[in-house]
Structure formats: structure tokens, C-alpha cells
A = this chain, B = another copy of it.
């Protein structure tokens, strides 16, 4: 189905200086009620030597109108989900419901202090408890902690749990010999980084030419007896389901290790298959992906950690439990790895995720998964004629292509990505996973309609044509944005990480 490929045009767009360049002495954007207690000289409250002596020099002085215009103008420079398809592979950029935003702003939640006594926060604790139950059901893993603030935080939590479990199981000494974490070469960077944080050394597993975990290599690595565990993403970062997952878990378990699953790709599985049933011991979820809590330009996230009954005693404290109809904080888990974050984690995200789950309902959750996988399959289908698809297996929720054919004309993945911008699309994830040269990882999610998928396919095909007929057009893209490609190398060489008043700009 051919579509009209002009998803965008160009239009006037406001310029805006840094707020510090806009600041004018004497402008104010706030008003407080007058102080209603008798004022004392401040130095009688705080000794001079502890008082600020720079008069907050440099902090901007602007009016409320200035602030509104400043941010509204800058906002128009962003692409966002609300403007269309955002096919960042591995990021699951799905629709962020307004309803969930409203729920998170209900005063009874938004104004609740985290140290409120449990009996005065029963509703808030019930939300945590209910979400824990739902996530346990969805993952097939009974133990859940919502404390981690993002995926990587959940990884650290999960890996520390593995370590604590093995310490307990084998005793410190034997456990000390198990300090290897196996991670596929296709894994996300946070996996090895999190393993390292937990004091593990990383060994990399090769992927097969089919894009799956190399069982032979896995067996070989497990033979050493030093393996504490495996961190596997499933579907993996190539968008492929690890068909041998059961066998993989068996191998690791037989070697005395545990299986950690990176749940960033759960949007391919919710309601269809459960990690717990596959033999996975512990997993993290990204509520800011699969469960649609807004990405907010980089966060906040929420990375719940779910594990088997066996591992439950090691979860962070406090646990939120239900006893005789009352919800309470339970600190009494002597084997716990401890606390990974102050208070309860990113609570506002929990409210949104629970609203997402309840709005979809059990059938809707499965429906979303099916729609997401179908959309990816549809794109895969539409692009194979023009782009190199390195793996033949049918993709799940995302699909990887490469720039192999385009490179002949000197056009690379980065250029294709930048050119997509001219067609009105946010580019896909590029150069990840690292094992695929010139990778283009495309994840449409369920939130895109067929017409826009067709527009995307047409745009990609058109770029493939351009790469042959007019490579420079692609190499110099984007052509329609307010700024062109920025010199990132120069930026990193002499980094300017903050504004400074002109005169001072050279100092330091």
C-alpha cells in the first residue's frame, strides 16, 4: 500500500537564547505570601561564616512570562511520541496515556510524604502491593521489588541478589570462586556495567550466525565452574526470541549458576509467555517501556526486580506486604541485599503502570503484545527488498537491518537515520546491538497505525533510492531542521558543560 510520503514540511520555529542570556536584573517570576512571623536578623539564626556570600550571582532573573515563553519555544524543537512514530529499537516508545498522568496527580498520592505512617498511607501501599501482584503474574516470578529507579538499577539489584544467594548457598569461600557473569555480545551496555558494580567479572558469549546464543560456547564457558550466572535478554536485542531458552537455563543451572533476564523487551511477551515458566530466576522490567510510563526526555523510569520464591529473601527492603487486610512495610529480611534507593522507588511511575495494566485488562495486554509484534513484522516485511536483513528468523517486537547495501555508495546507517528526519520520522536505534555492523534496530510498538507504518516504509525505501541516485542528499541530511549535524567530536575534545558569563567564559 503506497502512501503519501510527505509526513512533514517546514514551518517557522522560534529561536530562544539560554535563560542566562535572557536574564535582566530586577525581573521576578514569583510571589510568596509575606513572612508571618517576626523577622530576626538572619545572622542571629545562622552565623555569617555559614551564609552564602555570592548573592546567588548568575542565577537568572526573569518574569513568569519569560519562563513560559522560554520553555514553550524550546519544546517546539523536540520530536515526541505525540507527533508520531518513534521507532527506537529497544526503547519501546509507546503512547503515554493522559489518564495515567491524571492518576499520578491525584492529591491523595501527589501530596503524600514517603515517611507517612503505614496506617495513614494504606491506599498508596495497596497500589504498590497490587502492582507487585500483577507483575508477578505477568512474569511468572513470585518475588517483586519496585524499589529500583530504572532498568540498570533493577539489573544491579538482580545481580546482587544472585551473588547474595550464591553466598548463602555455597558459603563465602566457595562463592568467592564464582565471580563470572556470562553476557552475550549482543547485550545492552548496562548489563556488563551492572555486573561489574556487583563485583563480577564479565565473560562474553558469542551469538550464532542466526543471531541466537551460541549453546556450544555457553557450555564451554560454564565448564569452568566459576559461573555465577547468565544475563540474557529475551527476545534478545536483535529482536529474536531465544528458542533454546529452556536448554540455556538448564545448562546454566546445571553449572550452578542462575539466569538473569533483561526484561527490556517484555513488550514482545506480556500475556503470551512468562520468563518464570522458561526457567529464568530473576528479571527486571522497564515500566517506562513495556508499561508506558513516559520517558520524559530521559527519565524517570522504574525498574522492578522480579524473582523466584527461592530468591525472594534477598530482595531489597522494605518489602510491602499484606497482613490481615492491612498493608505494611516489612524490614525483617536478614538476607536482603539491602536498600537500593531511599523510600519506595519512583512511586509516581508505579501509579501510571498500574493504571496501564488496569486500562488494558488481561485481554488488552495480550492484544497490545500481538499488535506490537505484528507492526514489527509488517515493517520487516516492507523493508527486506531494500535493506539487508542480517538474520532470517522472523522478528518479534523489533527488527534489525543494516546499511550493508547502502555502504557501497558510501551511505551509512548514521546518514540514513539523519535523512529519516527529513521525512518526519524519529530515527530508529542505530549501531546497537554492537555485533551487527551498521545496525538499524526498528521497534514501531503497537501505538502506530498502518498508514504511518506505510509512510515509514516508503520513506526508508525512498532513502534507499536516494542512496543510489543522489548519495550526497543523504550524506548531508538532515536538510529541514533548525540546526544541522553538530560536531560531537569537537564538543567532546573541549567540553563546555555549563554557561558562563561572557567575560568569565575564558577563565577556567
Contacts and interface: CB of A to CB of B under 8 A. Distances in A.
Interface of A: 6-15, 22, 24, 63-66, 68-69, 72-73, 76-77, 80, 82-84, 95, 97-98, 421-422, 424, 447, 449-451, 478, 480-482
Contacts of A82: 68-69, 72
B72 A11 contact: no
A11 to B, nearest CB: 4
A478 B481 CA distance: 19
Contact of A11 (B68, B77, B95): B77
6 contacts: A10-B482, A14-B424, A22-B451, A24-B449, A63-B449, A65-B449
Nearest to A21: B451
A470 B69 CA distance: 32
A13 B13 contact: yes
A291 to B, nearest CB: 16
A65 B95 contact: yes
Contact of A12 (B22, B68, B451, B480): B480
Given A13-B8, A451-B22, A84 B98 contact: no
B8 A15 contact: yes
A424 to B, nearest CB: 6
Given A66-B449, A69-B83, A11 B11 contact: yes
Contacts of A95: 64-65, 68
A395 B238 CA distance: 68
Given A12-B481, A14-B424, 15 more contacts: A9-B13, A9-B15, A9-B482, A10-B13, A11-B13, A11-B77, A12-B424, A12-B478, A22-B451, A63-B449, A65-B447, A66-B449, A68-B95, A72-B83, A73-B83
Contacts of A73: 83-84
Nearest to A85: B69
Contact of A8 (B14, B68, B80): B14
A154 B37 CA distance: 47
A454 to B, nearest CB: 13
A164 B84 CA distance: 58
B7 A10 contact: no
Contacts of A83: 14, 69, 72-73, 76
Contacts of A15: 6-9, 424
A84 B16 CA distance: 11
A107 to B, nearest CB: 11
Nearest to A72: B82
Contacts of A68: 82, 95, 98
Nearest to A77: B11
A68 B84 CA distance: 10
Nearest to A364: B31
A12 B421 contact: yes
A419 to B, nearest CB: 12
A15 B7 CA distance: 5
Contacts of A66: 449
A450 B95 CA distance: 41
B14 A7 contact: yes
Nearest to A8: B12
A449 B6 CA distance: 38
A422 B12 contact: yes
A64 B446 CA distance: 13
Contacts of A24: 449-450
A218 B7 CA distance: 60
Contacts of A72: 80, 82-83
A480 B482 CA distance: 12
Nearest to A62: B449
Contacts of A14: 7-8, 83-84, 424
Among all A-B residue pairs, the 6 with the closest Cβ atoms: A11-B13, A11-B482, A72-B82, A10-B10, A8-B12, A65-B95
